[in-house]
Amino acid sequence: MLHHTEETLGLLVCPVFDSIKEIPERLGFGESQFAGSMKTLWYMGAKGRLVPDISEMIADITPKGQLVFDIFGGTGAVSQSLVSDYTVYANDVQCYSSVVLGATVEHGPRSSSRLRALLNFDKDIRPRFDKHKAVLLKAFKEPIEKEREGLREALDGRLENYRRFVQETPIYPCAKKDLAPLWKNAAPYLTEDAFTGFKGKQSRDQQHLMTSYYQGVYFSLEQAIELDSLRVAISEIEGHYAARKRRHYLAALLCAASTSTSGTSHFAQPRNLKRDRELKAVAKRRASSITGVMKDYSGKLKEYLSQTKFHSGNKVYKSDYRSLLSRVRRRPATIYADPPYTSDNYSRFYHVLEVLARYDYPRLARRRDGQLSKGRYPERDYRFQSGFCAAPKVENEFRRLAHSSSRLGSSLVVSYALPTGLLFKRFLPGCGTEKRALQQFLGIFRECYKKVSLVQRSLMHSGQGDSNHRVSELLVRCRLPRKAAGCAI
Ligand SMILES: C[S@@+](CC[C@H](N)C(=O)[O-])C[C@H]1O[C@@H](n2cnc3c(N)ncnc32)[C@H](O)[C@@H]1O
């Protein structure tokens, strides 16, 4: 059960991989992912290692066949463990997550085998992908050749040419006059004019969002071109089961982008390329083929579908949990809540995945000096700000969660971390000890539930950079909602 201590390797920095088999275990996605499940995004706070404990706790209080809500679904790790025994409604406020949840959760007993039989990458994707890639490769012919050569040499340990290529790569938005001759043909894609007034007018053949925004930032030029070409090919799938196929491939593409970033393991900011070690690491990431990794993920998804027996009625939502719980028609027997722990909004760390999923050319945020931010974030109103990530709001957010769940008459299981959870950072100075802060935390749930119990497990969490720290993962189990619970929210 949950008392023993477990350690992980923590955050590995920049491994080489050409297929998903070689992608390291990290970010909480440890080995104890259960049989028949599939690892999807590289994600902070993914519950891979804790899934057996969480599903056991849910099973203890939820009769088989009942409805379970996973309201902060993320990678879908927890939902995947539930879909055979329960009807699962999975939700996340981020579009990329809801696509991944859709591809792994929203199936019925028959639809998953039907979909599997119809998926064929070479027919569904390849022709349109090749056509689009050819258009973009034509505009970027010379830089692509230089990049390929530089990467080949860098993988052999010779870094000079690749370093020069990286230093001279123009990053959107550039002035046409500043473009070196090598890049002149690509001017329409790299200058700000490429985007002014274009919305809706651009032909399908010209889609270039990832290439313009993120080549040389989070991906190589060729990877960014592949991302655009695959995204266009996915959006043009038509015919039988088209919507399900599009979701399947888009989920595979999002997983490929998430594991191929040459940031560290997310998109909070691009990596520094000054030191040889950094340049080598980035070259290894950028030498991988997004198409190859995406195909691998599509295969993994198919394998997962073939091994999973889906209960009927599963659904996926893309919603703020607050509005979801206020408009739900069917009472969930149990709600599983795994909200963000820290002040880091997922919309900032994974903004590139959101842009790739929505593919809507958002305006990029500018700093005070008028320059685009180094992380190339979309403007603030594009990025969802979670109340769980804001110190002044987090306590109220937990109250609202407990209150809304009890009002529905549902049991509630909550994951959180001690002492790193933002709410504990608020409580600790006043409480003095972790023990008292924990009691204050549990008190929030006791306002709304008659029976509240806790299990704790000690784990190593990977921090930013290479730092690891020990935290206590909490699982709070809340049963017997109080009638007319008077939580102040
Ligand atoms: C800790 S992660 C969940 C990880 C997930 N259990 C897994 O195993 O992959 C928290 C998730 O909550 C989502 N989120 C944050 N605020 C939200 C809100 N108000 N409503 C719905 N989802 C939210 C984030 O987008 C993020 O995916």
Selection from 94, 76, 88 nearest residue 300 by Cα: 76
CA distance 37 to 29: 12
Band of pLDDT at residue 188, cut at 50, 70 and 90: confident
Q: Which residues line ligand 1 (CB under 6 A)?
A: 43, 45-47, 72, 74-75, 77-78, 92-94, 97, 320-321, 338-340, 346, 386, 388
Please tell me the residue having the least CA distance from ligand 1 atom 24.
Answer: 346
Please tell me the residue having the least CA distance from ligand 1 atom 27.
Answer: 74
Query: Where is average pLDDT lowest: 30-44, 221-235, 301-315?
Result: 30-44
Dmax over CA atoms of the chain, in Å, equals 72
Report pLDDT for 340: 98
Pocket test for ligand 1, best of 27, 49, 72 (most atoms within 8 A of CB): 72
CA–centroid distance, residue 71 to ligand 1 (Å): 7
Pocket test for ligand 1, best of 44, 346, 393 (most atoms within 8 A of CB): 346
The answer to whether residues 457 and 472 touch, using CB atoms and an 8 Å cutoff, is yes
Band of pLDDT at residue 467, cut at 50, 70 and 90: low
Q: What does the mean pLDDT of the chain come to? A: 88
Query: Which atom from ligand 1 is nearest to the alpha carbon of 40?
Result: 9
For 241, residues 6+ apart whose C-beta sits below 8 A from its C-beta are 114, 115, 118
Report pLDDT for 271: 87
CA distance 308 to 297: 16
Rounded average pLDDT over 302-328: 95
* Torsion from C-alpha of 117, 86, 254, 92, nearest 10 degrees: 150
Name the more confident of 273 and 398.
398
158: left (phi over 0), alpha (psi -120 to 50) or beta: beta
Report pLDDT for 28: 38
Please tell me the residue having the least CA distance from ligand 1 atom 7.
Answer: 46
Q: What is the pLDDT of residues 282-309, one digit of tens each?
A: 999 999 999 999 999 999 999 999 999 9
CA–centroid distance, residue 162 to ligand 1 (Å): 38
For residue 383, which phi and psi values (nearest 5 degrees)?
Answer: -105, 120
Specify the domain boundaries for CATH 3.40.50.150 within the chain: 46-106+332-345+394-481
Output the six-digit token pair for 230.
């695959």
CA–centroid distance, residue 386 to ligand 1 (Å): 9
CA–centroid distance, residue 282 to ligand 1 (Å): 28
Element holding 327 (H helix, E strand): helix 321-327
Q: What is the pLDDT of residues 431-459, one digit of tens each?
A: 999 999 999 999 999 999 999 999 999 87
Q: Cα 262 to chain center, whole Å?
A: 15
Output the six-digit token pair for 409.
């008459």
Selection from 125, 18, 85 nearest residue 308 by Cα: 85
Q: Which fold does the domain 46-106+332-345+394-481 belong to in CATH? A: Rossmann fold (3.40.50)
Work out the angle at residue 39's Cα, subtended by the Cα atoms of residues 34 and 45, and round it to the nearest 5 degrees. Answer: 95
Band of pLDDT at residue 109, cut at 50, 70 and 90: confident
The model carries a pTM of: 0.91
Please tell me the residue having the least CA distance from ligand 1 atom 5.
Answer: 74
Query: Which atom from ligand 1 is nearest to the alpha carbon of 94?
Result: 25
Output the six-digit token pair for 219.
């991906």
